[in-house]
Structure 1
């Protein structure tokens, strides 16, 4: 049934048909769950991992170097710990002023594409700054992020391979420069960790690519999905414009109602109830975030909603998104800027959706300030 989801404006009717089959069902060779409590429990259960029980990683044909996202403990723990300081709340707070300035500078048009002209350039600017990427090299990153997301579903294309080669070459060049002249950026901190033999050169490259893609992809779709939700719900948009302090609530409800990442998978390392050793479980985050047993009026977009328990848009357990604080801050800044600068914002044409099952977002979203 999952193959029916590609490019869907609204995947929830399919999710609801799966939900009707129970909290755990078998479909197309994998277990599926739409249940928030069960998905949360599996994400936190150390009997499940992202690798097979023998430690091998089932290849998906990706060109991306492996990162801690594809690792189980202890390697996951070691590599994540090295990257964590760059995403501390204190560090993210230092970026807020820069994000506000970038957001303001992007909102100087009367008619524009919200994705290409605002939602994509904002996080690319921020993650490039955080990683220490020169301004001259940031232009290719938005295309690269989109190509990586497409590869999750359609596999690797020649275009993707070419973009991947360019980005890896760029990181190789920057790593060489930081070895000679360290700076105050993530690449320099990883180079220092490599010198102390805390990670290998390949692990450093994998970490940088992960941070680049994750730091871009989630935020682009958070901003796009949230803006569309607000414009499609005029009462919510009016409420937010009157009370801009609700920006963080808009972020959280968007992440619940239309999470950028719709699903993730885990592999059982031993028999767990019906799930056999080395069997896959696909956790339908988009469905779990609208579990009616957890959220009253689950399909309603409501920025005043109390989020208890927390949604699963950033996963849960040891793989909880490292960049969650950054994405939340960027989303808050973006929504506030739109409400203040463009209170009469409106959609001016049809949106186009990403052809993806894993990622929920738009390719284009034409809007006007009045």
Structure 2
């Protein structure tokens, strides 16, 4: 009985804190008119006018909690590359494996060690191993989708493609991969916080179930190694300065699954959405499918899947005349930086012919630049090229429906018709 009472008190505290925070956010956005709070409250709306106002206000704006935010491209790039900033406070305790985000939340030297272990399997040199598989998978998905004459891009193409790639990369059987992807989607949906006590419970259940399933997959690979990344990581397991700790293996796999899924799903969804909004650019791709790589880069700039990240200052410092305290966070607004008119000509125009495509920060920058960038770009290029080749008459069959922000931006649904 006493244990039940403790659970109820804990649930009551959590619920009170959750809804009190939500109430403060409403006040900050609509009463105090804090632009950063408005960005957090934009939901499925258009964030880009808010980024413009944040940029116009100066190099930085102050968040309701006393931290900083910037949408200035040059400053964002400087913060991302500056070793005076990190992704977690110095000496921060390691979270439990179910919520550990591996190298995404590690500063050097742990970040350096973990990245060196996983980078070779995700390098550009390994891309040839995936190209045939990608083309076969995309072809099958488009064949299935095109049979009815209309389909939704997200469940038909954007979601199953990265699942197939992650399964191949990690050596996960398809049936386990489908379950892990469902868990990953639940966890990815909590990136901006919990929506309700029920949502928090669902996320915790999914997180722990994912750990158990990965542990089972890892044990099978331990007994029967293959040519997959999990087997490679197991071979690097140990306690030395260059080795992978046993406790780090599940978080590494979890990070690769969630990061690889979220980024690529929303890259593909945002790219198709932008192309359908700009028929002249779709026509250009149909006329020359080799432009698929340019579509990927311009989509990443124009509507970044990851809209923001954060860095914490290790020391008292200053950037662009702004004092930054030790322990103060800087919110790097990637989505806003990628439409900075000081860097991109006509930044609100989706243009495959622009010459500044590769200046975007969609994959971050510096030592934390996305380790899976080459394979994500390849997935996007193959899928968009084959979509243009096989379905040149593609057009909308209904309005797109966007997911709620603020951290990740992409469609929940993009209904299309083939001809």
Q: Which residue of 2 aligns with 1:97?
A: 132
Find the residue that maps to 1:157 and give its secondary structure: helix
Find the residue that maps to 2:192 and give its secondary structure: helix
Alpha-carbon distance, 1:336 to partner: 0.7
Contact kept, 8 Å, 1:127 with 1:215, in 2: the verdict is: yes
Q: Which of these residues, 174, 180, 183, is aligned with residue 223 of structure 2?
A: 180
> Distance between the aligned counterparts of 1:139 and 1:2, measured in 2?
36
Unaligned runs of 5+ in 2: 1-34
Where does structure 1 differ by over 4 angstroms across 4 or more consecutive aligned residues? none
Tell me the alpha carbon deviations over residues 185-242 of structure 1, each in whole angstroms, 9 at most, x when there is no partner.
Answer: 0110111111474121221111111111111110000000000100100111111111
Contact kept, 8 Å, 2:294 with 2:357, in 1: the verdict is: no
Distance 1:57 1:320, change over 3 A: farther
Contact kept, 8 Å, 1:121 with 1:142, in 2: the verdict is: no
Q: Which of these residues, 150, 169, 179, is aligned with residue 189 of structure 2?
A: 150
Say whether 1:267 aligns with 2:315: no
Tell me the alpha carbon deviations over residues 112-135 of structure 1, each in whole angstroms, 9 at most, x when there is no partner.
Answer: 111111100001101111000101
> Distance between the aligned counterparts of 1:78 and 1:27, measured in 2?
33
> Distance between the aligned counterparts of 2:134 and 2:279, measured in 1?
27
Any residues of structure 2 matched to 1:225-264 within 5 Å, and which? 225-264=270-309
Q: Which of these residues, 336, 341, 355, is aligned with residue 292 of structure 1?
A: 341
Distance 1:309 1:38, change over 3 A: farther
Contact kept, 8 Å, 1:62 with 1:151, in 2: the verdict is: no
Q: Which residue of 2 aligns with 1:213?
A: 258
Find the residue that maps to 2:237 and give its secondary structure: helix
> Distance between the aligned counterparts of 1:37 and 1:18, measured in 2?
14
Q: Which residue of 2 aligns with 1:4?
A: 38
Q: Across the two proteins, how many residue pairs are aligned to each other?
A: 368
Larger radius of gyration: 2
Q: Which residue of 2 aligns with 1:163?
A: 206
> Distance between the aligned counterparts of 2:368 and 2:256, measured in 1?
14
Any residues of structure 2 matched to 1:125-144 within 5 Å, and which? 125-144=164-183
The two structures have a TM-score, normalised by structure 1, of 0.95
Say whether 1:87 aligns with 2:87: no
Tell me the alpha carbon deviations over residues 129-171 of structure 1, each in whole angstroms, 9 at most, x when there is no partner.
Answer: 1000101112223432322222111336222222222221111
Tell me the alpha carbon deviations over residues 294-340 of structure 1, each in whole angstroms, 9 at most, x when there is no partner.
Answer: 11101110011112662100000000000000000000011011101
Greater Cα offset, 190-199 or 11-20? 190-199
> Distance between the aligned counterparts of 1:20 and 1:258, measured in 2?
20
Say whether 1:276 aligns with 2:325: yes
Q: Which residue of 1 aligns with 2:11?
A: none
Alpha-carbon distance, 1:245 to partner: 1.1
Say whether 1:75 aligns with 2:110: yes
Distance 1:57 1:319, change over 3 A: farther
> Distance between the aligned counterparts of 2:141 and 2:358, measured in 1?
35
Q: Which residue of 1 aligns with 2:21?
A: none
> Distance between the aligned counterparts of 1:351 and 1:308, measured in 2?
25
Q: Which of these residues, 339, 350, 361, is aligned with residue 410 of structure 2?
A: 361
Q: Which residue of 1 aligns with 2:387?
A: 338
Q: Which residue of 1 aligns with 2:79?
A: 42
Find the residue that maps to 2:69 and give its secondary structure: strand
The two structures have a TM-score, normalised by structure 2, of 0.84
Alpha-carbon distance, 1:62 to partner: 10
Contact kept, 8 Å, 2:305 with 2:362, in 1: the verdict is: yes
Contact kept, 8 Å, 1:123 with 1:215, in 2: the verdict is: yes
Greater Cα offset, 347-356 or 337-346? 347-356
Contact kept, 8 Å, 2:98 with 2:211, in 1: the verdict is: no
Structural RMSD (CA): 1.7
Contact kept, 8 Å, 1:25 with 1:33, in 2: the verdict is: yes
Unaligned runs of 5+ in 1: none
Alpha-carbon distance, 1:9 to partner: 3.3
> Distance between the aligned counterparts of 1:327 and 1:63, measured in 2?
25
Tell me the alpha carbon deviations over residues 243-299 of structure 1, each in whole angstroms, 9 at most, x when there is no partner.
Answer: 111111110000000010000000000012111111000000000000000111011
